[in-house]
Amino acid sequence: MWGSTLMHHLPFSNAVLAIFASLLIFPSFAFSQTKGQRPAALPELGAGTGVASLREVKKRERVLTIRKQLMATQKAAGEREQEITRLTALVQSGTSTRLSADERVLRYMQAQDAHPAVADRLRQDREQSLHVMQQLKAAGDEEYSDERISAYIGQANQALRRMLRAQGEQQKRLTKIKRAILNGRRGVAPPPGFANRNSMAMTLLTDGEHSFYVSEKLVSTQQFSAFFKASTTGKEDGAPHKADKPMTGLSWDMARQFCRWLSVRENATYRLPTAAEAALIGERFPSAVWTNSTWEGPDPAARKVRERFGVPMKIIWDPHKRFGAETTVGELPFASYDELAFTVVTSRKTGRVDRWNRLRTEK
């Protein structure tokens, strides 16, 4: 009856009438901020609403567009909630002691890979919500012949504000998840050993809270030759070296230069062991080795040597006592002996990074 009256008085096209008819009923809209909370429903507009002009129809058409955007925003919020819930479960599964260390790291890797995309989609959702809110504000400034349209806009505005608050909470949860991923990775014990790109097998040594990796063998002539050929400071001297022989007869400074080169090559810090670390290494090697610690010998002779040469003396770890009666000996950094070799150490972080890269490659 109402539709036929409108047809009599206004020469609208069928398309405009179809749009107008679809605007007569607004299905309920809901968004739950937290699980278990009852959704806030928007009112329904039933048939029987009249319009006075084409302008009124266009205003209603604008509200219909906002309604569609609001429903899309609601759907996206639900999808994001599911994604964040899955991410949370994935991170929590990484704490399971029933899994191997590699499996736990893989869980954190999967979560870390998925996190940026979820965070980016949430950012886009929030931008869209703010855009819809601006449109609601503009629509709210209009006057409508049917008060239920104005009521709908008001309640839609309230629902959207709740959604924005919920999206803010989702953002906080994503931040916590990111922190949990980093802490979880650190919580997985470092691997007992690994081999770096320079074919050096590294093994983990632990002394209470302090742990580090040490090369299983002394730096070989082949490994040192690779450094020497890559160096621009000089040329290799003497006859070719056999592959598996320890590199001996090197000064502390040359050993340190090798560590610097290896650090750049491996993108990780390698260095000579401290005297305390060398003591933990013990009698693992047949030769004495350089350490990175400075010798502070108390006897007058040691002080005279330091004053004479004007350089700090370095500690040699000598468990087999080839250089004297003690296991630690002070020596000038430019000294070299056939019985003196060197090993390298690196932090446990290097082992964790190596495992991460290996699993990434195998994934």
The whole-angstrom separation of Cα 53 and Cα 56 is 5
pLDDT on residue 308: 72
Neighbouring CB atoms inside 10 A of 363's CB total: 9
Number of domains in the chain: 2
Domain that holds residue 162: 2-187
Q: Considering only 140-154, 164-178, 239-253, which range has the smallest mean pLDDT? A: 239-253
Select, from the ranges 115-129, 234-248, 313-327, the one with the highest average predicted confidence (pLDDT). 115-129
Neighbouring CB atoms inside 10 A of 80's CB total: 22
Residues 202 and 319 both lie in one domain: yes
Domain boundary among 153, 187, 221: 187
Residues 96 and 197 both lie in one domain: no
Residues 95 and 242 both lie in one domain: no
Domain boundary among 164, 187, 210: 187
Domain boundary among 157, 187, 217: 187
Could you read off the pLDDT of 314-358 as tens digits, one per residue? 999 999 999 888 899 988 899 999 999 999 999 999 999 999 999
**HSE-up of residue 184 (Cα within 13 Å, Cβ side):** 28
Residues 139 and 78 both lie in one domain: yes
Residues 200 and 71 both lie in one domain: no
Could you read off the pLDDT of 74-92 as tens digits, one per residue? 999 999 999 999 999 999 9
The whole-angstrom separation of Cα 270 and Cα 257 is 11
Residues 39 and 143 both lie in one domain: yes
Full-model pTM: 0.72
Average pLDDT of every residue of the chain: 83
Model confidence band, residue 54 (pLDDT cutoffs 50, 70, 90):
confident
Mean pLDDT of the 286-292 span: 95
The whole-angstrom separation of Cα 101 and Cα 353 is 13
